[in-house]
Homo-oligomer: A and B are copies of this chain.
Amino acid sequence: VLFLQGGALLQFGMVPMNFLRNTGKAADYIVTGTWSKKASEEAKTQGKVNVAWDGKAGNYNRVPRQDEIKLDPAAPYVYLCSNETIQGVQYPTLPQLGDVPLVCDSSSDFLCRPVPVERFGILFACAQKNAGPAGVTIVIIRDDLVAKSPSDLPSLLNYKIMAENKSLLNTPPTFAIYFVHLVTNWLLHDIGGLGKMEEINKKKSKLLYDAIDASAGFYQAHAEPSSRSIMNVPFRLADAAFEEPFLKGAAACGLVELKGHRSVGGCRASIYNAMPMAGVEALRDFMLDFAKKHAK
């Protein structure tokens, strides 16, 4: 486990700088939304990219079925983003992706549930969703991959050198790392572990998806049921004219930051680990109430 400086975007560059550049091969990227798309673009600055699946045709409303993923067996790695914050698309379970090392950006669902760590070549997550404040990224990387980092990279961009120095080559972002320590202690001792956290997250997200599904189309979830995120719930009001009154009414009840990301519009409830059940219940109640008043 490494604690590296900067956010997930730096990993979007470090992964291909360390493992794609100068290989002559193409890395596989599974594109399920904004962040995996951006990661594939960053990788193109360093080498060839094979888009193994792209959800664009469905406006990124689901993860791929197993048989849709076109892998290149010679790829140095296959890359996916386990949860897309903007589209609210999350893998319910990991797909089977062969023997090629699996690289996963788990920035927005790290610590939301247990994960089979042994199946990843690299699992990385910036802290600022479930783990701590912005400024540090946690990277879990397999020893055989660390050993492959090339020597012609600056030290801070080289996994091997950072691992040899136990993430302490220079002063690390100490406050952010201390905060991660407090959060993981909270998860372990106050919540009772990641299994318990997953139960809570499933319950929280179900409250909102149930309200959406029971609204007879007044609210519409962006993601297909099979791929719905338990962290981010993006939705639209079927009649877009109600969107502004909805956001204003919600804000008046203290329910804020519900506007969808500027790149997709609509509404979005981000319900990371730190959002209590009561916050989600209050939003659910407001949604039911608003629909009752305005549905035809």
Q: Choose one: B8, B42, B135, B155; the contact of A173 (CB below 8 Å).
A: B135
Evaluate contact between B5 and A170: CB separation under 8 angstroms: no
Tell me the nearest residue of chain B to A4, going by C-beta.
B6
0/1 string, A41-58, CB within 8 A of B gives 1: 010011000000000000
- CB pair B133–A175 under 8 Å, yes or no, is yes
Quick check: B171 and A128 within 8 Å, CB to CB? yes
Kindly state the separation between the CA atoms of A71 and B6 in the bound complex, as whole angstroms.
34
Is B154 a contact of A45 with CB atoms below 8 Å? yes
User: Which residues from B are CB-within-8-Å of A246?
Assistant: none
By a CB distance below 8 angstroms, the chain B residues around A251 are: none
Q: In the complex, which of the residues B17, B156, B176 contacts A135, with contact meaning CB atoms closer than 8 Å? A: B176
In contact, B7 and A170 (Cβ under 8 angstroms): yes
Q: A221 interface residue, CB < 8 Å from B?
A: no
Whether B135 and A7, one on each chain, are in contact in the complex, defined by CB atoms closer than 8 angstroms, is no
Residues of B within 8 Å of A42, CB to CB, are 154-155
Task: Determine the chain B residues whose CB is within 8 A of the CB of A176 once the complex forms.
Answer: 135, 173, 175
Question: A174 CA to B132 CA in the complex, in Å?
Answer: 12
Provide the A132-171 mask, 1 if CB < 8 A to any CB of B, else 0: 0111100000000000000111111100000000000111
CB contact under 8 A between A155 and B5, given known A172-B134, A174-B134, A175-B135 = no
B157 engages A13 (CB within 8 Å): yes
- List chain B residues, Cβ under 8 A from A170: 7-9
A152 engages B45 (CB within 8 Å): yes
Tell me if A12 is interfacial: C-beta within 8 Å of chain B: yes
CA distance A174 to B151 in the complex (A): 32
CB distance from A12 to the nearest CB of B (A): 6
Instruction: A13 to B9: give the CA distance in the assembly, Å.
Output: 17
Across the interface, do A6 and B5 meet the contact criterion of CB distance under 8 Å? Answer: yes
* Structural contact, A134 and B45, CB atoms closer than 8 A: no
Given contacts A172-B134, A173-B135, contact A153 B45 (CB under 8 A): yes
CB contacts (< 8 Å) of A151 on chain B: these are 45
How far is it, in angstroms, between the C-alpha of A152 and the C-alpha of B46 when the chains are bound? 7
20 A-B residue pairings within 8 Å (CB atoms): A5-B5, A5-B6, A5-B10, A6-B6, A6-B173, A7-B170, A9-B154, A9-B169, A12-B155, A13-B155, A16-B154, A45-B152, A46-B152, A128-B171, A133-B173, A135-B135, A135-B173, A135-B175, A173-B173, A175-B175
Query: Which A residues fall within an 8 A CB radius of B?
Result: 5-10, 12-14, 16-17, 42, 45-46, 126, 128, 133-136, 151-157, 169-176
